[in-house]
Amino acid sequence: MPHAFIEIEKAGLFTTIQDGGRAGKQMYGVPVSGAMDRFAMRVANLLVGNRPDGPVLEFTLIGPAVRFSCPQVIAVAGGDFQPRLDGEPMPAWQAVPVRAGALLTFGPCVAGARGYLAVAGGFQVPPVMGSAATYVRGGYGGWQGRALQAGDRIPVLDGTVFLRGTSPIRRRLAPPWIPDYAKPRPVRVIPGPHADMFRQEAWKRLWTAPYRILPASDRMGYRLQGPALPHRQSADVLSTYIFPGAIQVPADGQPIVLMADCQVTGGYAVIGVVAGADLPYLAQRKPGDELRFRPVSVAEAQRLRRREAAFFARLRAGCGQHPKMRSSSEHC
């Protein structure tokens, strides 16, 4: 057994180890995978001094119960799962020291859909094709290629070294930057590579009508229900490269938004692509939630990504690449 570890006492609902994913492997048929909400993953990692795309726990709708075998520094981000440490409310979006034997639990998810737990030093799991991301359909990555189960012990670094000489004041993300997952907003979409395969009424419906996320949705893709998006002729295209954020429309006209675990090729027409900056928001929507879409240009989508990159550059500089905590007046 590992000397320092976290023990999963309750698994929650689909709790896996994820990181920044396997970019650049799609030519070999390997999905990107990785965290669905990469904003929350990166913030949680930076708060505890890890590299932004390091491995974290991702949990969906119901959080796990986690016991710590050693002192640690942790951060919880993402949806509002009402975390509690040894029975006491624990702040999210903040680095928090924990003692050996401490128990982290979560209540019902009251906003959003996915939560993230980062520990200082990261989860010590062997990389597969350069990543710790779990791809359950392929049975590889993360912890034994599967969702976590009660009794699993995931190796971590002993956090004692991260706590020496630190202030009890805790580093945290400034409140204006914390996403409001309870507030609905439009998902921004770039017209897709097969835009000319759709009738004009398809575009009118896409920009004006609500679409509901169906229960048959997962990390591979969100199946939506709403007004059909009619094609000019066929829904089929020659099988081509596909990627997270692409909105495929099969013959029934009901759109499917591809997510982190999506396949690498597809044969349905792609009407649009979700702007990369909006994928974290989309990842926090759950079955039954309503989505509305808004068109943006490629230039606007690129501007949003540059703004996001600048934010993380400032955050990384403010938090530093070490686990030493900062004063509460020095918000990340």
Evaluate whether 159 touches 193 at the Cβ level (below 8 Å). Answer: no
Amino acid at 324: K
> Both 172 and 208 in a single domain?
no
Does the structure show a pLDDT above 60 at 332? no
Q: What mean pLDDT do residues 52-71 have?
A: 97
What's this model's pTM, rounded to 2 decimal places? 0.92
What is the model's pLDDT at position 144? 96
> Both 130 and 194 in a single domain?
no
Amino acid at 218: D
In a domain, 26, yes or no: yes
Evaluate whether 264 touches 242 at the Cβ level (below 8 Å). Answer: yes
Q: How confident is the model at residue 194 (pLDDT cuts 50, 70, 90)?
A: very high
d(CA 57, CA 64) in angstroms, rounded, equals 10
pLDDT tens string 271-287 = 999 999 999 999 999 99
Tokens 């989860």 belong to residue:
123
Does the structure show a pLDDT above 80 at 322? no
Neighbours of 10 (CB within 10 A): 15
pLDDT tens string 233-245 = 999 999 989 999 9
Report percent pLDDT > 90 for the chain. Answer: 86
Does the structure show a pLDDT above 90 at 51? yes
In a domain, 72, yes or no: yes
- State which of 154, 180, 206 marks the end of a domain: 180
> Both 174 and 65 in a single domain?
yes
Evaluate whether 54 touches 17 at the Cβ level (below 8 Å). Answer: no
In a domain, 117, yes or no: yes
In a domain, 22, yes or no: yes
pLDDT tens string 200-213 = 999 999 999 999 99
> Both 216 and 169 in a single domain?
no
> Both 83 and 147 in a single domain?
yes
Distances (CA, A) of 317 to 76, 77, 96: 20, 19, 20
According to DSSP, residue 23 is labeled: T
> Both 69 and 130 in a single domain?
yes
What is the model's pLDDT at position 272? 97
In a domain, 74, yes or no: yes
Neighbours of 313 (CB within 10 A): 10
pLDDT winner (highest mean) among 165-179, 288-302, 311-325: 288-302
What is the model's pLDDT at position 165? 57
d(CA 248, CA 242) in angstroms, rounded, equals 9
What is the model's pLDDT at position 2? 53
d(CA 286, CA 59) in angstroms, rounded, equals 13
- State which of 124, 151, 180 marks the end of a domain: 180
> Both 96 and 155 in a single domain?
yes
Q: How confident is the model at residue 324 (pLDDT cuts 50, 70, 90)?
A: very low
d(CA 118, CA 46) in angstroms, rounded, equals 9
Nearest residue to 267 (alpha-carbon basis) of 258, 259, 276: 258
> Both 227 and 113 in a single domain?
no
Total domains in the chain come to 2
What is the model's pLDDT at position 125? 96
Structure tokens at 65: 């119960």
> Both 50 and 119 in a single domain?
yes
Integer distance in angstroms from the first to the last C-alpha of the chain? 36
Neighbours of 207 (CB within 10 A): 14
> Both 174 and 191 in a single domain?
no
Sheet with strand 72-80: strands edge to edge:
16-18, 56-60, 111-119, 72-80, 95-98
Does the structure show a pLDDT above 50 at 323? no
Q: What mean pLDDT do residues 18-33 have?
A: 94
Nearest residue to 173 (alpha-carbon basis) of 80, 47, 74: 47
Q: How confident is the model at residue 317 (pLDDT cuts 50, 70, 90)?
A: confident
> Both 152 and 84 in a single domain?
yes
Residues whose CB is less than 8 angstroms from the CB of residue 42 and which lie 6 or more positions away in sequence, other chains included: 52, 53, 312
What is the model's pLDDT at position 88? 96
- State which of 138, 153, 180 marks the end of a domain: 180
What is the model's pLDDT at position 166? 55
pLDDT tens string 73-112 = 999 999 999 999 999 999 999 999 999 999 999 988 999 9
Parent domain of 149? 5-180
Question: Please, how many CA atoms are within 13 Å of residue 244, restricted to the half-sphere of its CB?
Answer: 26
When the pLDDT of each residue in the chain is averaged and rounded to a whole number, the result is: 92
d(CA 96, CA 153) in angstroms, rounded, equals 21
In a domain, 119, yes or no: yes
Write the CATH number for 207: 2.40.100.10
Q: 3-class DSSP state for residue 183?
A: coil
Q: How confident is the model at residue 3 (pLDDT cuts 50, 70, 90)?
A: confident
> Both 153 and 232 in a single domain?
no
Report percent pLDDT > 70 for the chain. Answer: 93
In a domain, 322, yes or no: no
Q: How confident is the model at residue 163 (pLDDT cuts 50, 70, 90)?
A: confident
Structure tokens at 283: 């990842």
d(CA 195, CA 160) in angstroms, rounded, equals 55
In a domain, 324, yes or no: no
Does the structure show a pLDDT above 50 at 52? yes
